[in-house]
């Protein structure tokens, strides 16, 4: 009897607890949001967010529906703005004349503010310890079949520890601005940002970007996509003190990964399992920090544009750039063009399909700085490495060449080329 009574009491308490309201959760519907895709829900969302912020933090939940916004949102400290998605959705098959349509597809935000005004306020601003999770961002008035209309960044991260999780950026002009946000976390994000995907700058403590894939799922219209392949930049890194980037990918941009020097400094970081497909330049280094960019297990292809070259290191670079166990393929002009006073290294990499027009272009052209090429495989019977007169130091060793060795050495300084092996008929020595 006592056991039965105790069990009934436990069930009663559990039932009350399950049915009790959660004081840390707020539904936007309770603040007047309509989710009909027509009524402006900006004020209702902001009221819910402010209420959670004034309470010291909490979760503002947006149930399934299409939410129309004519303004922008500010997510206070410690507040999570969350939709229904626990993983990024797919829009394959959901198409009409304007491209993929997110209607009836989980929690969708229809963004309209600041059309034509690239420098306006971002649609969503995340502050310290705040999070955006489980939503689709869609710009219904974006131009799908011509040069796209500029908009500000869809999301801006400020403060520290802000996060973007399980979000689809279906068609923003600019995606995520992660500036002045130490220890940011951007994870499980997909979509087709048209001009810029993710911009990182002024990071003085480690930031993380994981499982981010940008593909042309919204539009491959010939005119728009050509514009994106010319002007688009998927990942841009200014100052960041050890940015960690893992399993990221982009397709169809002018530049896949771009490293620049801003007024706050430049980037050093660890880039593992990254990819850039059909980008005119897969990796462009205008400048990086002396501590270096460590790029491992990457895959890069370039084959469109006036001069498709997978890696470009520019004249202002003074840092160290290292590629390890990376694969480069696609009918490009060259694998790499290298300038600047920094060091560029390739180790255990595979090179395929350069010199697409048979013009005698070298896979790697170094005009300046220091070059290390060690343990790599050159799979084409075409010119391999050109060392310009201003190359200060170079080691080319333990590589495998297809066909005869073709290394042009015009350097005035110290160069060491040794222990490379060319394929030759059996019984003949290597180089």
Instruction: Return the pLDDT at 87.
Output: 87
pLDDT tens digits, 354-400: 999 999 999 999 999 999 999 999 999 999 999 999 999 999 999 99
Alpha-carbon gap, residue 347 to 369, rounded angstroms: 17
Alpha-carbon gap, residue 193 to 248, rounded angstroms: 14
pTM of the predicted model as reported, rounded to 2 decimal places: 0.92
The residue ranges of DSSP E strands in 48-134, in sequence order, are 58-61, 65-69, 73-75, 79-82, 95-96, 99-100, 107-111, 124-126, 131-133
Instruction: Return the pLDDT at 15.
Output: 40
Which residues are paired to 371 by β-bridges?
344, 394
Burial of 34 (0-12, 13-18, 19+ CB in 10 A): middle
Instruction: Return the pLDDT at 306.
Output: 87
Domain 22-229 CATH assignment equals 3.10.620: no
pLDDT tens digits, 237-263: 999 999 999 999 999 999 999 999 999
How far the first Cα of the chain sits from its last, in Å, is 92
Percent helix, percent strand, percent coil in the chain, to nearest 5: 10, 45, 45
Number of H helices, E strands in the chain: 3, 39
Low-confidence ranges of the chain (pLDDT < 50): 1, 5-20, 93-95, 428-431
For 244, the token pair is: 């960690």
Alpha-carbon gap, residue 230 to 339, rounded angstroms: 22
Tell me the domain boundaries of the chain.
22-229, 232-431
Of 88, 92, 102, 58, which is closest to residue 76 (Cα–Cα)? Answer: 58
């Amino acid at each position: 009897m006592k056991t039965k009574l105790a069990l009934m009491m436990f069930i009663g308490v559990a039932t009350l607890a399950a049915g009790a309201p959660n004081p840390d959760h707020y539904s936007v519907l309770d603040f007047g949001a309509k989710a009909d895709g027509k009524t402006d829900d900006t004020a209702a969302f902001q009221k819910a967010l402010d209420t959670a912020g004034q309470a010291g933090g909490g979760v503002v939940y947006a149930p399934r529906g299409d939410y129309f916004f004519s303004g922008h949102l500010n997510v206070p400290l410690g507040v999570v703005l969350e939709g229904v998605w626990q993983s990024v959705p797919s829009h394959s098959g959901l198409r009409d004349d304007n491209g993929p349509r997110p209607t009836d597809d989980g929690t969708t935000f229809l963004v309209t503010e600041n059309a034509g005004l690239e420098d306006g306020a971002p649609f969503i601003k995340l502050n310290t310890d705040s999070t955006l999770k489980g939503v689709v961002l869609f710009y219904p008035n974006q131009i799908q079949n011509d040069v796209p209309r500029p908009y500000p960044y869809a999301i801006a991260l400020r403060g520290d520890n802000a996060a973007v999780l399980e979000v689809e950026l279906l068609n923003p002009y600019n995606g995520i601005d992660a500036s002045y946000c130490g220890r940011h976390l951007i994870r499980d994000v997909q979509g087709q940002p048209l001009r810029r995907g993710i911009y990182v700058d002024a990071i003085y403590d480690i930031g993380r970007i994981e499982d981010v894939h940008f593909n042309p799922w919204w539009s491959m219209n010939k005119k728009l996509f050509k514009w994106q392949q010319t002007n688009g930049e998927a990942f841009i890194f200014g100052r960041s003190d050890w940015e960690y980037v893992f399993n990221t990918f982009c397709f169809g941009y002018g530049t896949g990964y771009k490293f620049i020097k801003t007024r706050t400094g430049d980037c050093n970081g660890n880039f593992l399992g990254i990819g850039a497909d059909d980008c005119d330049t897969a990796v462009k280094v205008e400048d990086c920090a002396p501590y270096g960019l460590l790029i491992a297990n990457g895959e890069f292809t370039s084959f469109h544009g006036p001069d498709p070259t997978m890696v470009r290191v520019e004249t202002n670079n003074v840092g160290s750039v290292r590629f390890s166990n990376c694969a480069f393929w696609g009918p490009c002009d060259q694998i790499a063009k290298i300038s600047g006073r920094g060091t560029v290294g390739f180790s255990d990499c595979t090179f395929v399909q350069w010199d697409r027009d048979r013009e005698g272009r070298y896979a790697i052209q170094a005009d300046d700085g220091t070059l290390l090429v060690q343990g790599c495989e050159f799979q084409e019977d075409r010119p391999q490495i050109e060392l310009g007169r201003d190359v200060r130091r170079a080691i080319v060793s333990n590589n495998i060449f297809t066909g005869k060795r073709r290394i042009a050495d015009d350097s005035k300084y110290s160069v060491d080329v040794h222990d490379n092996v060319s394929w030759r008929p059996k019984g003949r020595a290597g180089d």
